[in-house]
Amino acid sequence: MSAPDLSAPHFIAIGGVGMSGIAKILARRGSTVSGSDAKASSTLDALRQLGVQVSVGHAAGNLPAGASCVVVSSAIREDNPELVTARERGLPVLHRADALAALMQGYRALAVAGTHGKTTTTGMLAVSLTTLGLDPSFAVGGDVDEPGSNAHHGSSEIFVAEADESDRSFQKYSPEVAIILNVELDHHANYASIEEIYESFQAFVDRIVPGGTLVVSADHPGARELTARVADRAGLTVVTVGESAEATVRILRITPRGLTSAVTVLVDGAELDFTVAVPGRHYAGNAVAALAAGIALGVPAAELAEALGSYRGVRRRLQLQGEAQGVQVVDSYAHHPTEISADLDAIRGAAGEGRVLVVFQPHLFSRTQQLGAEMGAALAPADAVVVLDVYPAREDPVPGVTSDLVIDAARAHGADVIAAHGLAEVPDLIAGMAKPGDLVLTMGAGDVTTLGPEILTRLG
């Protein structure tokens, strides 16, 4: 297959975190980039500063006459007017992953995959390698610092990318080093069973270049099963990481320190200590996977361990929004039961004697239909929970599938739950509940993230 013509790409929904990152790199490489998005955002502002032509709203006229191709994500529907016009013109239509795969050609690629933790781990690698002066290119599924910091066109031969399994698009990449953090059933609109998930991850492993390295969790059951399935692949080095005694890179200690953790690992018989700027065992595990992957690229272990301490988090991954009247507000992207449990456990340790109040927004009707009961059970350890309506994202409603599936399950497990049917209700609800010393956690993959500043204003 010939390389796509990315000299003048047009991105539909360019404001998305994955799409905007690719657009940014292409603009840095000298392409004439254009795109559209449904609404204005700081991400669009950042793209305009790079010379990208951005339109707000979707219309056929947004597609430039000189466009070389159109780039879409799996969320773009066939009736989108710009996509319809592109097909009428006979323009090539590329999936976002095809564009990213083309960008990685000729680089030493490091791809980060897994059901949970991809964005954090990719961000850790991007920041630590940059701190060491290696200037990698990277594409992260979240802003590492300010809007638009989700991607960078670097000067070195290293390219770090988040690899999305949700639509099988990660099977398009050919990394030298791949990380698989965990393997669980999710994305029910695209996978009918856990066996399909394993087959998809196995296909991703098959794409690792000969002589390459797979870094995989030694602790997660799904990752261990995957390791057993691929262990005999010729030309593949498998490095396991985790707290298990059999791990190649072993975590010896994780010591919570408020909203950070001190981590000690054993690498090639030597102990290394470093700090992770987000709390929780799962984030410590992400950092150790990043360490092992960097070592596989040839980065000295001690230098990389120290550089990992410069990582200060990715937006929405247990990100502190602020404090008012003695109440801290933290934002979390967690939307799968495993993520909810892990982040709640981490925050419970950071909250000390204070209560943990959660505002949760279920994400996708398909996920809520399959995992709503597990979501409710995962939320139960919180001292109080406000549950919003399901955030539909790209999906149409499913009859009978509402946030009541989560609420009923949480109550069945003893949780104190309040139902809220609009974002506007929440700040006053929380302001009436919170006391000095409490911690408020906004949680979900939808627009629940916008509530943090409003809650802080009400509290203040």
- Indicate the average pLDDT of the chain: 92
Domain chopping of the chain, boundaries: 9-94, 106-308, 317-459
Candidates 3.40.50.2000, 3.40.50.720, 1.20.140.10, 3.50.40.10; CATH matching 9-94 = 3.40.50.720
pLDDT at 439 over 80: yes
Active site residue 118: yes
pLDDT at 287 over 80: yes
What tokens were used for 151?
């991607």
Instruction: Give 19-33 pLDDT, tens digit per residue.
Output: 999 999 999 999 999
Q: 181: pLDDT confidence band, cut at 50, 70 and 90?
A: very high
Distance, CA of 285 to CA of 315 (rounded, Å):
19
Choosing from 43, 115, 118, 260, the catalytic residue is 118
Q: 317: pLDDT confidence band, cut at 50, 70 and 90?
A: low
Q: Which pLDDT value is given to residue 315?
A: 61
Distance, CA of 122 to CA of 113 (rounded, Å):
9
Q: 149: pLDDT confidence band, cut at 50, 70 and 90?
A: confident
Active site residue 450: no
The number of C-alpha atoms within 13 Å of 225 and in the hemisphere containing its C-beta is 12
Of all helices (H) and strands (E), which one includes residue 118? Answer: helix 118-131
β-pair type (249-257, 384-387) = unpaired
β-pair type (249-257, 260-267) = antiparallel
Q: 374: pLDDT confidence band, cut at 50, 70 and 90?
A: very high
Residue 266 near residue 249 (C-beta atoms within 8 A)? yes
Which amino acid appears at position 256 of this protein? P
Distance, CA of 294 to CA of 127 (rounded, Å):
12
pLDDT at 82 over 60: yes
pLDDT at 208 over 80: yes
pLDDT at 352 over 70: yes
pLDDT at 161 over 50: yes
If phi over 0 gives left and psi between -120 and 50 gives alpha, with beta otherwise, what is residue 207?
alpha
What tokens were used for 389?
């309506």
pLDDT at 10 over 90: yes
Which amino acid appears at position 137 of this protein? S
Q: In sequence order, which ranges of 166-280 are alpha helices (DSSP H)? A: 194-206, 221-230
Of all helices (H) and strands (E), which one includes residue 49? Answer: helix 42-49
pLDDT at 187 over 90: no
What is the arithmetic mean of pLDDT over 248-274? Answer: 91
- SS3 at position 382: coil
Range with the poorest average pLDDT among 201-205, 267-271, 274-278: 274-278
pLDDT at 188 over 90: no
| φ and ψ at residue 323, rounded to 5 degrees | -140, 140
Q: Which pLDDT value is given to residue 121?
A: 93
Q: Which pLDDT value is given to residue 145?
A: 55
Instruction: Give 40-80 pLDDT, tens digit per residue.
Output: 998 899 899 999 999 999 999 999 999 999 999 988 999 99
Q: How far does CA 145 lie from the centroid of its chain? A: 14
Please indicate whether residue 246 or residue 345 has the higher confidence score (pLDDT). 246
Q: 147: pLDDT confidence band, cut at 50, 70 and 90?
A: very low
Of all helices (H) and strands (E), which one includes residue 385? Answer: strand 384-387
pLDDT at 189 over 90: no
Choosing from 82, 162, 176, 339, the catalytic residue is 162
What is the arithmetic mean of pLDDT over 323-340? Answer: 90
317-459 homologous superfamily: Mur ligase, C-terminal domain (3.90.190.20)
Q: Which pLDDT value is given to residue 299?
A: 97
pLDDT at 1 over 70: no
- SS3 at position 212: coil
Whole-number CA gyration radius for the chain: 22
- SS3 at position 58: coil
pLDDT at 435 over 50: yes
Tell me the pTM.
0.76
Instruction: Identify the bridge partners of residue 11 per DSSP, sorted by sequence position.
Output: 35, 71
Instruction: Give 392-430 pLDDT, tens digit per residue.
Output: 987 899 999 999 999 999 999 999 999 999 999 999 999
106-308 homologous superfamily: Mur-like, catalytic domain (3.40.1190.10)
The answer to whether the Cα torsion of 195, 200, 137, 5 is positive or negative is: negative
Active site residue 115: no
Q: What is the dihedral of CA 433, 436, 438, 444, to 10 degrees?
A: 60
Choosing from 32, 43, 85, 119, the catalytic residue is 119
Angle between helices 281-296 and 301-308 (to 10 degrees): 140
Q: Is 24 exposed, middle or buried (0-12, 13-18, 19+ CB in 10 A)?
A: buried
- Max mean pLDDT range (296-300, 334-338, 341-345): 296-300
